[in-house]
Chains A and B, each alone.
Chain A
């Protein structure tokens, strides 16, 4: 059966329905979940670990763990939150194990951008979007891990606060506090780099 026909047959079901099908013995339901979430998970991983890491590798690790854990997945949880939770753990592991640091440096980002520019259009994005994109990437990379995770999941992955709270297993208010601090830090960082867009308008003195 082709993926397309599988998709037309299973276009309607929600993630949770697919999980149920999978748990009922229909392994192909997992293919649909992968098809549905792979790109998003890769995007999250890319922004969490930085361009120097092998996103595909980490994404595959994430889905492998998801596949192994899906049989015992509790249905009251949201599949997306659960999947992001796995991805976050994979990224944390990689960062702690791999480099002994929690974020990529600005120099590495620039280096990766330049290396990529020779390699293909991937890095052209960074170069073409010029300073802003690169500096945003560097500023996000420079955030403390907890803030970076929330910023990535909210700003770039578009998860709801509830989904983020589930994925991180923290209270809603904690998610909002981390996001508030993260945004504040990003604004400060970008202002320092000469990007005025995020700068607060100075209050009139009178």
Chain B
């Protein structure tokens, strides 16, 4: 018997798409062919088994496994988890517990990990703040000391400067006085020399004039 000739009809019948005439032909064949009858029955059982494979309800969402391969998805997922986790943590403990059992199993360890992470971060933040505060206080204290030292240094420096200036002035005064006296001596000497010279010149001029006078008188 040519069972293969009825194969398409059997498939049609299996999925409810067989035309009445084809169904009648197949049934006629199957009445005489146990193998075809069994095959149709086994395919029907198979279809029941196949129906057990259902698509997951969160099909449209990105699978978590891809997070490792695609960092931006992981970041996005982390943001979502963070926001969701933050909201959950803001609520009461009871709400959190409900969330833990009412929804996904996967979220419970994540939320727990999140709260641990948040607590750790908070702790770290507080530690850092304390350290920072201590540093600031220490800095202000040492600043005052420095200021004092600077003031002292300035005072010392001013005193030293004053001494130097005084000393300098005294020395300058002494030197200037010496110079002045020397110059005065020089000027005095010069004047007497000029005086002498002038006297000589005057005498000579007078003598010359006398000679001129005598010569004119003789004429």
A binds B: yes
A85 CB–B CB distance under 8 Å: no
Are A201 and B38 in contact (CB-based, < 8 A)? yes
Q: Which residues of the partner chain A approach B52 to less than 8 Å between Cβ atoms?
A: 129, 132-133, 136
Q: Taking A122-B58, A125-B57, A186-B46 as contacts, is the C-beta distance between A116 and B64 under 8 angstroms?
A: yes
Q: Which residues of the partner chain A approach B34 to less than 8 Å between Cβ atoms?
A: 203
Are B60 and A129 in contact (CB-based, < 8 A)? no
B43 CB–A CB distance under 8 Å: yes
Closest residue to A186 on the B side, CB-wise? B46
The 8 Å CB contact of A125, one of B45, B54, B61, is B54
Are B42 and A55 in contact (CB-based, < 8 A)? no
Q: Which residues of the partner chain B approach A38 to less than 8 Å between Cβ atoms?
A: 60
B50 CB–A CB distance under 8 Å: yes
Report the stretch among B7-15, B139-147, B168-176, B189-197 that lies at the interface: B7-15
A13 CB–B CB distance under 8 Å: no
The 8 Å CB contact of A46, one of B15, B59, B65, B105, is B59
Q: Nearest chain B CB to A100's CB is how many angstroms away?
A: 16
Q: Which residues of the partner chain B approach A119 to less than 8 Å between Cβ atoms?
A: 63-65, 106
Are A42 and B46 in contact (CB-based, < 8 A)? no
Give the distance in Å from the alpha carbon of A137 to the alpha carbon of B17 in the complex: 25
Are B60 and A121 in contact (CB-based, < 8 A)? no
Closest residue to B70 on the A side, CB-wise? A54
Q: Which residues of the partner chain A approach B47 to less than 8 Å between Cβ atoms?
A: 155
A197 CB–B CB distance under 8 Å: yes
| Bitwise interface map of A from 100 to 141 toward B, beta carbon under 8 Å scored 1, else 0 | 000000000000100111111111111001001100110010
- How many B residues touch A, CB cutoff 8 Å? 40
Q: Which residues of the partner chain B approach A121 to less than 8 Å between Cβ atoms?
A: 56-58, 104-105
Are A120 and B106 in contact (CB-based, < 8 A)? yes
A200 CB–B CB distance under 8 Å: yes
**From DSSP, what is the main secondary structure of chain A's interface residues?**
helix
Report the stretch among A16-24, A89-97, A172-180 that lies at the interface: A172-180
Closest residue to B37 on the A side, CB-wise? A201
Q: Which residues of the partner chain B approach A151 to less than 8 Å between Cβ atoms?
A: 50
The 8 Å CB contact of B55, one of A47, A112, A115, A124, is A47
CB contacts under 8 Å to B, within A26-67, are 38-39, 42-43, 46-47, 51-57, 59
Q: Which residues of the partner chain A approach B55 to less than 8 Å between Cβ atoms?
A: 42-43, 46-47, 125
Q: Which residues of the partner chain B approach A39 to less than 8 Å between Cβ atoms?
A: 59-60
Closest residue to B59 on the A side, CB-wise? A42
Q: Nearest chain A CB to B166's CB is how many angstroms away?
A: 89
Are B62 and A57 in contact (CB-based, < 8 A)? yes
Give the residue among B35, B38, B63 with the most A Cβ atoms within 10 A.
Answer: B63
Give the residue among B11, B12, B35, B38 with the most A Cβ atoms within 10 A.
Answer: B11
A142 CB–B CB distance under 8 Å: no
Q: Which residues of the partner chain A approach B53 to less than 8 Å between Cβ atoms?
A: 47, 129, 133, 136-137, 140, 156
Are A51 and B42 in contact (CB-based, < 8 A)? no
The 6 closest A-B pairs by CB, nearest first: A122-B56, A198-B46, A119-B64, A136-B53, A200-B42, A120-B106
Known contacts A39-B59, A57-B62, A151-B50, then 8 further A-B pairs from the complex at CB < 8 Å, ordered by chain A residue: A51-B56, A53-B63, A118-B106, A119-B64, A119-B65, A122-B57, A122-B61, A187-B46
**Which residues in B have some Cβ–Cβ distance to A below 8 Å?**
7-8, 10-12, 15, 17, 34-35, 38-39, 41-43, 45-50, 52-66, 104-107, 109
